[in-house]
A and B are shown apart, each in its own frame.
Chain A
């Protein structure tokens, strides 16, 4: 049978029963894991970023151990791949892709947008990243090094974007409100407009 033509719901049920029968995972563990991703609140990554912008200790923790920094914000990371966070500066901009499949920091950001899994995004992110970014309206100055992060293995990568100018007196809630999922994979840059 061709897996693409299979009844997905029946296949899921069969695999779930097999995993459970073989003692790999219980049905409750699977349900818990699915629920953690299904219910990842869209704003939780933005709150991590806003806190890192306003709290130097948290920023250091986020950059050295993303998983513990997520747990510090009550985001469940048990059973999730380790989270790595890469900082954008005035010298380097990070863009996250998974050329081999669709690895994405789901524990933090929920499910990826449809284009993240497209063959076009995955190929062009490594082959023509500045051209790709321009289509998202992101033009990097030539002196800024673009570092494309290909999520090939055990980590999930997230970007800590630069804090926009003119936000010095903003509250953490107001800062979090301007951070979009695209900013946290580097296709866009937070803006105050």
Chain B
């Protein structure tokens, strides 16, 4: 039997792929994931309408796509926010950004600020790395664990 951690990893992998529905059967485990649209409950102030439910039910009946091994190679890893707050790329409105794409930063070097409760929390690099991509815009809210940068260890 698969361990919970393995299952979680598998589900995360499936989740990251753009597949609507996946069915896997392997030693004693049958797994079905379905991303076909459900009635949008999260739309502000609007109850699910008959049309929307019918629409999504219709989508559910679409033919099941066969599971195809698909590997997406993304270079580097993601650097996530250690706290919830507001992301700032620079120490002040007129200051230069802490880092730009392509910059090579040292371990413990400040790479951005996440402001929480008027406190400017300096976020530092965990290891020597190169910034490959910035995944968020200046001044935007960030959640705990939200990817901020794509980085490559150097």
Chain A bound to chain B: no
Show the binding face of A for B, using Cβ within 8 Å.
none
